[in-house]
Amino acid sequence: MFYSSALSTSTALCASIQSMIILVREMEFKQLSEGRILLRFFHVLDSRRALEECPWSFEKNILILNGLGPEDNPRTVDLNWCDFHVHIHDLALPRMNLGVATHIGNKLGIFWDMEMDEAGQAWGAILHIHATINVNHPLKRALKIRTTIRDEKLVHFTYERLSNFCYICGRLGPISKYCELRFDKGFTDLGDDTPYGPWLQAPMPVKGRP
């Protein structure tokens, strides 16, 4: 299993991971290269929790976790995708179903599941989905979905457990003062009126998830 981080030492990073996951058994780690660490869990509950409760972060920077198959090369396994719990706002209640959730989730990245009842329907003001997102792309703030043949509806997104991201380009990792867009010809500094902001951070569920 892998984490990607361009920060700090592997020892400090893994100590932080151990405290976050609260391990049933011990964990081993090996530094493979800069930003790439191999983790070995000795209990299935530890590895399952590490995968299911993504995204994790260290010093407010995202950690990318990927499970390893028997034929995977630990030095080349893809670390460009990360699981997120996404809140979808401004969606009419009849639209809070598995079909719509799947459509939206696949627009964000790869849809996995949603919080719903036995009939495949969600209830409340917000639709909660679980999707895998390419971390090299800007975070999506909103999406137009078709509600009738002629009408469209704009829905908005927030994300649980967001790490550092740029308020100018919307990408995870860099903070705004280091954004590459600042060096583009014609760039205008908007001050605090940036396209992205802390409002993209969704609150964690009060009762957690099953």
Burial class (CB in 10 A: 0-12, 13-18, 19+), 125: exposed
13 and 103 belong to one structural domain: no
User: Collapsing DSSP states into helix, strand and coil, what is residue 27?
Assistant: strand
Structural domain contains residue 207: no
55 and 132 belong to one structural domain: no
98 and 196 belong to one structural domain: yes
What the block records as the tokens of 50 is 């590490």
**Dihedral pair phi/psi, residue 84, rounded to 5°:** -135, 150
62 and 103 belong to one structural domain: no
44, pLDDT greater than 80: yes
Residue 210 is predicted with a pLDDT of: 46
111 and 189 belong to one structural domain: yes
Q: What is the CATH number of the domain that holds 52?
A: 3.30.70
Residue 176 is predicted with a pLDDT of: 66
What lies within 8 Å, CB to CB, of 121 at 6+ separation is: 96, 97
What is the tens place of the pLDDT at every residue in 88-109?
999 998 899 999 999 999 999 9
Torsion of CA 42, 65, 159, 166, to 10 degrees: 140
Query: In terms of residue numbers, what domain contains 154?
Result: 82-202
Torsion of CA 57, 59, 62, 64, to 10 degrees: -70
pTM over 0.95: no
Structural domain contains residue 210: no
Query: Of 17, 37, 69, which closes a domain?
Result: 69
Where residue 67 falls among pLDDT bands split at 50, 70, 90? confident
Gap between the Cα atoms of 133 and 26, Å rounded:
30
Where residue 2 falls among pLDDT bands split at 50, 70, 90? very low
Q: Say how many domains are in the chain.
A: 2
34, pLDDT greater than 80: no
10 and 61 belong to one structural domain: yes
Contact (CB, 8 A) for 65 and 51: yes
Structural domain contains residue 77: no
Please count the other Cβ atoms lying within 10 Å of the Cβ belonging to residue 84: 22
Structural domain contains residue 208: no
Query: Of 69, 95, 121, which closes a domain?
Result: 69
186 and 111 belong to one structural domain: yes
64 and 86 belong to one structural domain: no
Best-predicted range by mean pLDDT (5-14, 114-123, 183-192): 114-123
Structural domain contains residue 29: yes
162 and 98 belong to one structural domain: yes
Contact (CB, 8 A) for 165 and 198: no
